[in-house]
Amino acid sequence: MDDEQLIRWSLVSRLTEEGYRVVEAGTAAEAREKRLEGVDLVLLDYKLPDSDGLAVLKEIKDADPDTVVIMLTGHSSVAMAVEAMKRGAFHYANKPFDVDEVALLVEKALETTELRREVRTLRASQARPFGIERIVGQSPSVAAVRALLQKVAVSPASTVLLTGESGTGKDLAAKVIHYASSRANQPFMNITCSALPEALLESELFGHERGAFTGADRQKRGLLESSDGGTVFLDEIGEMVPALQAKLLRFLEEKTFKRVGGSSDLHVDVRVIAATNRNLEEEVRERRFREDLYYRLNVLPILLAPLRDRAGDIPLLVNFYIDAYNTEFRKQIRRVTPEAMDRLKSYRWPGNVRELRNAVERAMLLAEGDELAPGHFPLSGGPLAARLTETVELPPNGIDLEQLERSLVFQALEGSRWNQTKAAALLGLNRDQIRYRIEKFKLEKPS
């Protein structure tokens, strides 16, 4: 009997003793053959003779996300454990392990309803402030973003463009890039382009010479100079005025700039991460944003998807914030009722993850017991497509659907002062969809 078999044998006998029904498999192929459907929990060796444990983990999770998987690993590798948990493992045990410990783990795993709680706590405690694991989500789009951020971070790319609606995590992504890069020990500076008047923004970014303008009584280094070797995060780049856009473009292309009122070229090595919640292509079409700058920025675009398009991530995010606020508020919230979770999953989240975080925070401050119920989430403010289906009843005599649609679109436009983006958001549509309807119904702003 080799080592592996011995381990298996001792686990099987122990778990059988505890009253579990145990099915054994020595290889991934054997496990597949035994059709492990209906299995509640899998103890999965990281190193299998015929396959990689992580690949099998994925297979199991794809077949049934509710199957609990505990990884058995030979290395006490946190990286591997974190990776396994990211892919949905419940926990891991390091070999050589204590059979009692594993038995306990199994028991715990099976009795916990919020199966992934422990993992997240563990992960959080090992995480760096803005490690890649801070980006929560298992949806394909989030997984792809995580992979891309990691790649970009270690690449020599000097410009990155982050786009996505408000609250989708652009700030977070920028920090993740910075801290995963070789620039991590150098400054990370950010500036919100819309927050300052043009002249001030220019001097903040590029610095100024003494006497460059009234009040410039001293020479001042700009953000670019101060963050040499590091990263500058230009938030709300879509709001930058064209004159500054030109200056920024020159910097991106030549890595040099002049201080305001200065004549010598300064050279710095800075990675620029720009972010916007506007549709830059459209800004270009409307001639509000320079096309050349857009193309320069768009070399490496990373799009953060709205939360409503990845509702599967909502439970993960909710639990992530519950863990965080349990610690912060010294609370002991254990679960979210299924009704409340359904409600959270069907809500449209116009404010995306930020709004979700605030909703959980508020709910936890309100909750008296150890669970969060629908009443703790007053989500009435936003556009609530899901609730509409609950509250709008078809009158017995029927309705004119076209007429109703036309009226709703018109109301949304009126309510948002004919801002199509806002009106679209109120209706859960994208801009193309609302445009189509504006044309279809020949809607016009009343003069």
Ligand X SMILES: Nc1ncnc2c1ncn2[C@@H]1O[C@H](COP(=O)(O)OP(=O)(O)OP(=O)(O)O)[C@@H](O)[C@H]1O
Which residues of the shown chain bind ligand X in the complex (CB under 6 A)?
Answer: 135-137, 142, 164, 166-172, 277, 353-354, 357
Handedness of CA 437, 438, 443, 447 (dihedral sign): positive
Determine the Cα–Cα distance for residues 350 and 147; give it in Å rounded to an integer: 25
Please identify the residue of the shown chain whose CB is closest to the bound ligand X. Answer: 169
Phi, psi of 222 (to 5 degrees): -90, 180
Shortest Cβ 126–Mg ion spacing (Å): 26
279 burial level (CB within 10 Å; 0-12, 13-18, 19+):
middle
Determine the Cα–Cα distance for residues 363 and 378; give it in Å rounded to an integer: 9
Q: Which is nearer to ligand X, 138 or 337 (CB)?
A: 138
Task: List contacts with Mg ion (CB under 5 A).
Answer: 170-171
Select from Mg ion, ligand X, none the partner in contact with residue 137, using the beta carbon and a kind-dependent cut-off of 5 to 8 Å.
Answer: ligand X
Shortest Cβ 131–ligand X spacing (Å): 12
Chain centroid to Cα 218, Å, comes to 42
Shortest Cβ 422–ligand X spacing (Å): 14
Shortest Cβ 190–ligand X spacing (Å): 10
Shortest Cβ 6–Mg ion spacing (Å): 54
Shortest Cβ 127–ligand X spacing (Å): 11
Determine the Cα–Cα distance for residues 126 and 132; give it in Å rounded to an integer: 12
- Report yes or no: 297 and 283 within 8 Å, Cβ to Cβ: no
234 burial level (CB within 10 Å; 0-12, 13-18, 19+):
buried
Torsion of CA 94, 100, 101, 106, to 10 degrees: 100
Residue of 214, 291, 205 lying closest to 244 (CA atoms): 205
Using the CB atoms, write b or e for 27-55: b if 16+ within 10 Å.
ebeebeeeebeebebbbbbbebeeeebbe
User: In this structure, what token pair is assigned to residue 300?
Assistant: 């490496």
Q: Which is nearer to ligand X, 45 or 133 (CB)?
A: 133
Q: Which is nearer to ligand X, 169 or 350 (CB)?
A: 169
Please identify the residue of the shown chain whose CB is closest to the bound Mg ion. Answer: 171
- Report yes or no: 266 and 418 within 8 Å, Cβ to Cβ: no
User: In this structure, what token pair is assigned to residue 167?
Assistant: 């609250």
Q: Which is nearer to ligand X, 160 or 260 (CB)?
A: 160
Select from Mg ion, ligand X, none the partner in contact with residue 353, using the beta carbon and a kind-dependent cut-off of 5 to 8 Å.
Answer: ligand X
Q: What is the CA radius of gyration of the chain?
A: 27
Secondary structure (3-state) at 401? helix
Q: Which is nearer to ligand X, 170 or 247 (CB)?
A: 170
Q: Which is nearer to Mg ion, 225 or 236 (CB)?
A: 236
Shortest Cβ 400–ligand X spacing (Å): 39
Select from Mg ion, ligand X, none the partner in contact with residue 231, using the beta carbon and a kind-dependent cut-off of 5 to 8 Å.
Answer: none
Select from Mg ion, ligand X, none the partner in contact with residue 277, using the beta carbon and a kind-dependent cut-off of 5 to 8 Å.
Answer: ligand X
Select from ligand X, Mg ion, none the partner in contact with residue 73, using the beta carbon and a kind-dependent cut-off of 5 to 8 Å.
Answer: none
Select from ligand X, Mg ion, none the partner in contact with residue 83, using the beta carbon and a kind-dependent cut-off of 5 to 8 Å.
Answer: none
Q: Which is nearer to ligand X, 67 or 276 (CB)?
A: 276
Shortest Cβ 169–Mg ion spacing (Å): 8
Select from ligand X, Mg ion, none the partner in contact with residue 169, using the beta carbon and a kind-dependent cut-off of 5 to 8 Å.
Answer: ligand X
User: In this structure, what token pair is assigned to residue 177?
Assistant: 């890039």
Select from ligand X, Mg ion, none the partner in contact with residue 112, using the beta carbon and a kind-dependent cut-off of 5 to 8 Å.
Answer: none
